[in-house]
Amino acid sequence: MRSAGGALSNGAATVRAYVTRESVCAADDIDPPHLKRFYLPDDWTWESLIHHVWRSSELPRIAGGKATWALSSNIPLAVVAQEWQEPSIFFRVESDRKRLDISDNEIRLHWSYFAQRDPSVVMEVLRELRLRAVAD
Residues 11-29: tens digit of each pLDDT: 445 778 899 988 776 555 5
Dump pLDDT digits (tens) for 70-106. Answer: 999 988 999 999 999 999 998 666 666 778 888 888 8
**4-22+31-128 belongs to CATH 3.10.20:** yes
Long-range contacts of the stretch 20-28 (C-beta < 8 A, 24+): 20/109, 20/110, 20/111, 21/57, 21/59, 21/69, 21/110, 21/111, 21/112, 21/113, 22/110, 22/111, 22/112, 22/113, 23/113, 24/60, 24/62, 24/67, 24/113, 24/115, 28/60
Instruction: Give residue limits of the domains in the chain.
Output: 4-22+31-128
Which neighbouring-strand residues pair with 13? Answer: none
